[in-house]
Chains A and B, each alone.
Chain A
Amino acid sequence: MKLTPEQITEIDKALGKIGIAYLDIRCELTDHVATQLEAGGGDFEAELNRYIKENKKSLRRTNRKMFFATSAGAYAEVFKTLTRPGFLIAFIAFFGLMQLLLQFMVAENAGRIGFFIFCIVSLYLSVKYLFRAFYTRRSYSGAVGFSIFSLVILYTTLYAGDWLAESGNLAVSVYYALINTVTFAMIATSEKQYKLYKSRYV
């Protein structure tokens, strides 16, 4: 038997209910469950309920594993993006900006400006990701917001900022140029991945 569009929607909703939030993972698992139910035959409602009940835990585990595998790939993509010539230029530009600021102010204050730029860019990245996830309901496992990495940078900077300022002008310039370039690379990667996934799942 072939499932109707309504029955496919029902599978999708059932998977959403048990926590399969990312659209790409849900689409793939919906197809898997639908093909299995089609092959098995029987009463659709009863078979779907039985499948979800029996496989709820393993489906959640699969979802987690799929997410980690894909987001690891997305993080690797950030490092690939960083090797592009445009990002070397961005690093030099940020480094130059920090050096310029250090001509007019002490390292602590220049560091604060570098940190402020990082916060604004990270906030943009996070808000855009959250908007897509909650408003458009289009959230893909491979187009993550890199919030964990941003948080690591944030806390490292908060705790090491003073120590960094004491380490000298060169350390301040390199550090803030680096974190801002990485954050821009995360934005570029997130956008690229989002476009790729959106074109796949129209």
Chain B
Amino acid sequence: MKNSPLYKGSLNTIIMKLLEENGRMYGYEITQKVKLITNGELSITEGALYPALHKLEAEGLLDVEVERVDNRMRKYYKLTENGEKETVNRLAELEEFIRNMQTLVNNKPNPDLQF
């Protein structure tokens, strides 16, 4: 993950959005998907991803399925019903945040409106 609090604060929403689109995913798959979508600009480390997944699971937003794949156990994550509702809320919140930031950043000072 890029070492910026802006990205770190959005990690849970990114994970939930990906799970909403893909149904169920495992840890490594999530890291690769993010890399692919952002053309390598953003890479999530295991140190950021797995604790976030465990936290979302503990909060009851993610459900878990463990399967044996290629001689090892693989843990798949998917959204719970609560998780699906929460994803909608968090995405709306994130979109609003981005809109507000764009307004602030692109704002050209208007001399008439200055105090």
Q: Do A and B come from one complex?
A: yes
Q: Using a CB–CB distance below 8 Å, which chain A residues touch chain B?
A: 2-5, 8, 24-25, 27-32, 34-36, 38, 58-59, 61-62, 65-66, 68-70, 72-74, 76, 141-142, 200-201
CB of B47 within 8 A of CB of A62, answer yes
Contacting chain A: which of B14-22, B52-60, B84-92, B94-102? Answer: B52-60
| Cα–Cα, bound, A93→B100 (Å) | 56
CB of A72 within 8 A of CB of B58, answer yes
Could you tell me the dominant secondary structure of chain A's interface residues? helix
| Cα–Cα, bound, A27→B66 (Å) | 10
CB of B66 within 8 A of CB of A200, answer yes
| Cβ of B9 under 8 Å from chain A | no
CB of B66 within 8 A of CB of A62, answer no
Across-interface contacts of B27 in A (CB, < 8 A): 28, 31-32
CB of A5 within 8 A of CB of B51, answer no
CB of A27 within 8 A of CB of B75, answer yes
| Cβ of B64 under 8 Å from chain A | yes
Q: Which of A8, A66, A76 contacts B54 (CB 8 A)?
A: A66
CB of A28 within 8 A of CB of B70, answer no
Across-interface contacts of A142 in B (CB, < 8 A): 58
Across-interface contacts of A4 in B (CB, < 8 A): 71
Q: A32-B27, A66-B51, A200-B64 given as contacts; is B75 within 8 A of A73 (CB)? A: no
28 A-B Cβ contacts within 8 A?
A2-B70, A2-B71, A3-B70, A3-B72, A4-B71, A8-B71, A25-B50, A27-B72, A27-B75, A28-B75, A29-B46, A30-B73, A31-B27, A31-B28, A31-B73, A31-B75, A32-B50, A58-B45, A62-B46, A65-B47, A65-B54, A68-B51, A73-B54, A73-B55, A76-B58, A200-B66, A200-B75, A201-B66
CB of B57 within 8 A of CB of A28, answer no
| Cα–Cα, bound, A111→B113 (Å) | 72
| Cα–Cα, bound, A27→B26 (Å) | 12
Q: How far is the CB of B30 from chain A (nearest CB, A)?
A: 10
Q: How far is the CB of A39 from chain B (nearest CB, A)?
A: 8
CB of B75 within 8 A of CB of A69, answer no
A-B contacts besides A29-B50, A58-B47, 20 pairs, CB < 8 Å: A4-B71, A8-B71, A8-B72, A28-B27, A28-B50, A28-B73, A30-B72, A31-B28, A31-B69, A31-B72, A31-B74, A34-B72, A61-B47, A66-B51, A69-B51, A69-B52, A69-B54, A69-B58, A73-B57, A200-B75
